Amino acid sequence: MRVDGGGDAAPRAAAAEFADLSDNELLTREAELEQRRVTVRDERQRLFSERRNSKREKSRRGLFLPPLHDDDADSDALPRERPDAALAKSKKRRQQRP
């Protein structure tokens, strides 16, 4: 039982869109749409897989860490060494405060 008082407007509008098609045209249209859906699904899966692989490589390289403000100064350091160097600098600055 519907509480919102709405009718079947959406299904009727969709049915009206295809009402002028013959049976063969409707079946052809449905087959085309199904093929497009499969193509889109396959492309989505390919993109998802490629994105997952790039994230794995990014994680392996330690690139998920946020960039440091003075990143250019330590550009020769490996990405995994940069946070340690920044932490050491930060500790040194805190110790020098009065």
Listed in sequence order, the residues at least 6 apart from 78 whose beta carbon sits closer than 8 Å to its beta carbon are: 62
pLDDT at 98: 65
Mean pLDDT, rounded, of the chain: 80
**Cα torsion 83, 86, 90, 92: sign:** positive
The model's pTM is 0.46
pLDDT tens-digit profile of 24-61?
999 999 999 999 999 999 999 999 999 999 999 988 88
pLDDT at 80: 62
Structure tokens at 58: 């990014």
> For a pLDDT cut of 70, what percent of the chain falls above it?
71
CA separation for the pair 35, 56 (Å, rounded): 32
What is the residue extent of each domain of the chain?
7-63, 65-98
pLDDT tens-digit profile of 9-19?
767 777 788 88
pLDDT at 71: 53
